[in-house]
Amino acid sequence: MAGEIVDNKGRGEAVWEWPAIHPEGRRFGLIAISVSLFFLLILDWEIIGWPLLLLSAGIFAFFRDPERVVPQSDAAIISPADGTVMLIGEVEPPLELQIDDGSGFTGLASGPVTRVSIFMSVFDVHINRTPVGGTVRRVVYIPGRFMSAELDKASEENERQHILVERTDGLKLGFTQIAGLVARRIVPFVKPGDMLAKGQRVGLIRFGSRVDVYLPAGTDPKVMIGQTVIAGETVIAEVGQRGLIEGIAQ
């Protein structure tokens, strides 16, 4: 049940439900179904109709929008995307998140921070969520190329959208939606000035892509390369917490 309070002491209830389909995807699925039925029922071309019908099911699955249980700890920074952690490294935040944009609100400070990059395959949920709660200070769209989102340089060359969120305590966190080889559109749900709860939906990227998170200074990730994360649920870092985490792939 959406909005229900749960904890790690047994409070709450788990009920399996079919995930909702985001409205952005319903029209694509309905178009695919209509075309498949045309080939099946009108033209009797099963060799085309049945594959198209399977494709329509895949489209609905791509735009699924399941509910998530969002950790509410003030220190927790949660994953903005479903997928696999592909890159972790020290980088300068994007200039678009640093420079004075004339809004009267400062951006991120200059200097290296840890970037966590999460790759979403076409099989992952593509609804993105904010890693922290607060006020949206910037939404900056940048047109670009459509190279593989797994490449490091995709963060600087691909079509992308930067989002900057400021918490009530003044902490700022930036993250970037990056279009990939197949993705052709970033769809925003938010604009500057919007108030967001942690884990709230902020947008989607169609058909395979990546999200970069720029952790606050003095904060190390709690995830590792190759780890699978879940948007709105997986804690990828805790503000101000440092320390090396090691794992064994098996």
- Residues 198, 238, 162, 98: is their CA dihedral positive or negative? positive
Where on the phi/psi map is residue 18: left (φ > 0), alpha (ψ -120 to 50), or beta? beta
Residues paired with residue 140 on neighbouring β-strands, in sequence order? 162
With beta carbons less than 8 A apart as the criterion, state whether 221 and 241 touch: no
Residue 239 to residue 66: CA distance in whole angstroms = 27
Neighbours of 227 (CB within 10 A): 20
Neighbours of 244 (CB within 10 A): 5
Which residue bears the tokens 């695919």? Answer: 32
Catalytic annotation, pick one of 36, 79, 155, 209? 209
Contacts of 235-239 spanning 24+ positions with Cβ under 8 A = 235/71, 235/73, 235/76, 235/77, 235/78, 235/79, 236/77, 236/78, 236/79, 236/116, 236/131, 237/77, 237/114, 237/116, 238/73, 238/75, 238/76, 238/77, 239/74, 239/75, 239/77, 239/171
209 has catalytic annotation? yes
In one letter, which amino acid is 141? Answer: Y
Annotated active-site positions, please?
Answer: 209
